[in-house]
Amino acid sequence: MVNKIREIAIQCVNEFEELLEEKNIDISSDDREGNKEEAHLYGTEYYQVEDGITSILTNKLNKIKRELIALWKGNESMEDTICNYFDVLKEEH
């Protein structure tokens, strides 16, 4: 299962993959087996980029969440709404 943040990261990696395709660039990987079907960004390197983007997005969203909670401090209803919204982004589906 994948959460919404990772879905966005995968979309970013796919955009990068399209650029690599357009430029006919293969990122080297020890995971490659020489199959024509292998993507330009493949194996461990693919997941390294996906995980990195997921981490960047998660950290940024956590910062925004903290800033919004601080902005609405004292308004428990709004704080709960903010927390619930950001929790939904992290839920796997």
User: Domain extents for the chain?
Assistant: 4-90
| Residue 7: band (very low, low, confident or very high) from pLDDT cuts 50, 70, 90 | very high
Q: Residue 1: is its pLDDT beyond 80?
A: no
Q: Residue 93: is its pLDDT beyond 80?
A: no
Structure tokens at 63: 């910062």
Mean pLDDT score, 72-92: 86
Q: Residue 12: is its pLDDT beyond 90?
A: yes
> Which three-class secondary structure state does DSSP give residue 3?
strand
Tell me what percent of the residues of the chain surpass a pLDDT of 70: 98
pTM of the model: 0.84
Q: What's the DSSP call for residue 41?
A: S
Contact status, residue 93 vs residue 9, Cβ threshold 8 Å: no
Residue with tokens 């079907």: 37
The widest CA-to-CA distance across the chain, in whole angstroms, is 59
Can you give the pLDDT at residue 79?
86
